[in-house]
Amino acid sequence: MSGKFEVYKKSAAAQISLIEPSYNDQGWLTKNGAVLVEATVSTGKDANDRPVFDWTQKISVALGVNDLCLLFGDISKQLTHEYKESIKGFQFQPGEGQYEGTFRMILSVKEGEAARRQVMVPLSSGEMQYLGRLFDIATTRMLGW
């Protein structure tokens, strides 16, 4: 099992991990891996004034190799995944003005007739650069290379 890259902010948190590819009994690749991005909003503060996060209300998006290739070409590309009655979105938005150089990672989900939910996780320049490096490395592992 691989580790997680975690980002915890006052308003939201994210955990990013690698889903390893699957192999059959002969060692042949049967399914590519993915990058799993999970995020949730802060639901308040604890007794020590630290943010509290309800991970039962998280939004999860699995990014495949094609998704990462789209992001490599345009980091602010809006990705949309539709499956049955669920529509999930993923995007990095660059900061503007005083926030130039930073990013917001936005995950959203709309399931059936329910209202659309969204989580926005602020990312520093360093966090964004590190995440880009992780995505770069992940693509080879996702393909089983």
- 2 pLDDT band, cuts 50/70/90, is low
Domain boundaries, the chain: 4-142
Concatenated DSSP letters of 87-101: EEEEEEEE--GGGTT
Q: Which CATH superfamily is domain 4-142 in?
A: Transcriptional Coactivator Pc4; Chain A (2.30.31.10)
Q: Once rounded to an integer, what is the mean pLDDT over residues 16-30?
A: 92
Q: What are 83-141's pLDDT values in tens digits?
A: 999 999 999 999 999 999 999 999 999 998 888 999 999 999 999 999 999 999 999 99
Q: At what angle do helices 125-142 and 65-73 cross, to 10 degrees?
A: 140
Contact 141, 19 (CB under 8 A): no
